[in-house]
Amino acid sequence: MDRLNIIGGAELNGRIPVSGAKNSALKLMVACLLTDEPITLTNMPSLADTRFLAQLLETLGVEVYWPKGESTCHLNAAELKSTIAPYEQVRKMRASFNVLGPLIARSGHATVSLPGGCAIGARPVDLHLQALEAMGADLKVEQGYVKAAAIRGLKGAHIVFAMPSVGATEHAMLTATLASGETILENAAREPEIEDLADCLNKMGAKITGAGTSTIRIQGVEKLHGTTHAVMPDRIEAGTYAMAAAAAGGDVTLDGCPVEALGAMIAKLREAGVTVDADEAASTLRIRRNGTRLKAVSVSTQPHPGFPTDLQAQFMALMSVADGTSIIRETIFENRFMHAPELQRLGANILVRGQEAVVKGVPHLTGAPVMATDLRASVSLVIAGLAAEGETVVNRIYHLDRGFERLEAKLNACGANIKRLSGEDE
């Protein structure tokens, strides 16, 4: 199993290109199921998760042309040969569950495995299923599968979410495009990725307004057509590299950065003493720290436009070396502090109390072997390793490959010393 060997202590200087957003790309790929015409997605990130989903789409009958190393993916669902998404594929990645609604909307029936467990909490699909039922889908859960039918088609509905779930909002929006009549989603999630999906669907002929606000309206249409769409840049990847530069010190510019989507993070970095130059027009974010120690800053994760839960672990790594005490509250997912014990192995002083962590900054961290527990936790250990003295080895980095494209290459180009080791090197 691959692992990363990191020699810490080097400043980062240079430019890092931001890849397409994983969380947007996955739902954009699913949109191909809604039409029998070709969809072309550019700025596609080549990740374990996006490649897993491509395999599932091929199982359903989608023609996928996406050569390795290329950022353009061609999808053609002219004929679906199956409406069954098996457990062996859905269990690899939760987002693949979102094929359920589009399959019902296109074919009138579908059988999709429930997604497996997740290291960062329960994350149930109840809100997804409630939205589909509201649109007229007849659902049964049997032997770990959702068996769904809407023989007379789906109908528009007024859906009020119990919480602003990103996945449920996107799933309902995808499905409602082909439902008859108007669907209104209230207490909808407001993440930029939802706006990106709505933009693509509208290019395909959908009639969606209000994406990015808490109320989204979808006027159903009879048919969608093909289109070409560029995946938005990944705000979580951009935020991660910004924190890596802040932790290691130096001067790094992020190119192709979704500046507007990172307001909450930029404010916290500036509060901590990082120099941040944000140029929305040029889509660049410049991060500078000249070696002076950062100030401790507290943060609470919130739905967008608040501080993202997907940047919480990275921020904890940064605060581990700040001057003072910070309190980090996780309000989105339970059990999302599993990186704390691993950061402690590097010398961090962190006390976890339920859904909050008290981080007392230390002057420096010291390299040690650590283990990744999930995607965002794994990259927090990379950030800590860059700031630590000596050698850090991050094990189980298959988590990293799910969400970060060419991570070590991008950081090494700025002066980091990271080497990927295969299992044979042990």
Give CATH superfamily name and number for 3-15+235-425.
Answer: Enolpyruvate transferase domain (3.65.10.10)
Main-chain phi, psi angles of 15, to 5 degrees: -125, 145
Is 23 annotated to bind ligand?
yes
Comparison of pLDDT for 338 and 185, the residue scoring more: 185
Per-residue pLDDT band for 375 (boundaries 50, 70, 90) equals confident
Determine the pLDDT at residue 116: 62
Listed in sequence order, the residues at least 6 apart from 405 whose beta carbon sits closer than 8 Å to its beta carbon are 19, 45, 46, 47, 237
Which of 111-115, 220-224, 346-350 is the least confident region? 111-115
Residue numbers annotated as active site: 118
> Is 341 among the annotated ligand-binding positions?
no
Neighbours of 17 (CB within 10 A): 15
Q: What is the pLDDT of residues 14-63, one digit of tens each?
A: 999 999 999 999 999 999 999 999 999 999 999 999 999 999 999 999 99
Question: Rounded CA gap, 224 and 379, in Å?
Answer: 39
Token digits of residue 293: 């120690």
The domain locations on the chain are 3-15+235-425, 24-190
Neighbouring C-beta atoms of residue 151, cutoff 10 Å: 8
Mean pLDDT of the chain: 95
Q: According to the annotation, is 22 in a ligand binding site? A: yes
pLDDT one-digit tens code per residue, 215-243: 999 999 999 999 999 999 999 999 999 99
Collect all residues with Cβ–Cβ distance below 8 Å to 80 and sequence separation of at least 6.
33, 60, 61, 62, 103, 106, 107
127 is in an annotated binding site: yes
Q: Which of 65-79, 101-115, 121-135, 228-242 has the lowest mean pLDDT?
A: 121-135
Q: What is the mean pLDDT of residues 379-388?
A: 98
**Is the full-model pTM beyond 0.85?**
yes
Residue 426 is predicted with a pLDDT of 42
Q: Is 68 exposed, middle or buried (0-12, 13-18, 19+ CB in 10 A)?
A: exposed
Q: Residue 213: which H helix or E strand, with range? A: none
- Confidence label for 91 from pLDDT (cuts 50, 70 and 90): confident
Domain 24-190 - what CATH class? alpha beta
**Do 3-15+235-425 and 24-190 agree at the fold level?**
yes
